[in-house]
């Protein structure tokens, strides 16, 4: 699934998909779905999940300062608190938009 256009609008990320669908993802939901190892943990070769203890979000954690394009397959949000390690593949972004992510 490929987006045709992605724009932050207010407190949401608006996505127009190639299939004609549109999604509006709250920035808070997007941040909470961050797939980076620091947020979601890492799995070793045996399938064991290693995850840091939860850290409370900073006051400005849900403010989006930039949205970077990564190749032709993902976006990388840069958050106001400095967090910028999450790469959202377009497939994962659609899952987040549909509320079907882990």
CATH code at position 15: 3.30.2020.30
- Express each pLDDT in 10-27 by its tens digit: 999 999 999 999 999 999
The whole model's pTM is what? 0.91
In this structure, is residue 102 part of a structural domain? Answer: no
In this structure, is residue 45 part of a structural domain? Answer: yes
In this structure, is residue 40 part of a structural domain? Answer: yes
Rounded-to-integer distance, Cα 32 and Cα 61, Å:
10
In this structure, is residue 78 part of a structural domain? Answer: yes
Output 38 or 102, whichever has higher pLDDT.
38
Which residue range(s) make up the domain with 44? 3-97
In this structure, is residue 71 part of a structural domain? Answer: yes
Q: Is residue 36 a contact partner of residue 51, using CB atoms and an 8 Å limit?
A: no
Retrieve residue 64's tokens.
């989006």
pLDDT the model gives residue 56: 92
- Express each pLDDT in 39-72 by its tens digit: 999 999 999 999 989 889 999 999 999 999 999 9
In this structure, is residue 53 part of a structural domain? Answer: yes
In this structure, is residue 86 part of a structural domain? Answer: yes
Question: How many domains does the chain divide into?
Answer: 1
């Amino acid at each position: 699934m490929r987006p045709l256009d992605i724009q932050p609008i207010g407190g949401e990320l608006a996505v127009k998909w190639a299939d004609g669908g549109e999604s509006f993802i709250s920035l808070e939901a997007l941040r909470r779905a961050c797939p980076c190892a620091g947020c979601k943990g890492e799995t070793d070769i045996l399938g064991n999940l290693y995850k840091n203890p939860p850290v409370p979000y900073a006051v400005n954690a849900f403010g989006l300062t930039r949205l970077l394009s990564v190749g032709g397959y993902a976006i990388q949000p840069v958050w106001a608190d400095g967090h910028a390690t999450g790469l959202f593949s377009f497939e994962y972004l659609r899952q987040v938009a549909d509320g079907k992510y882990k």
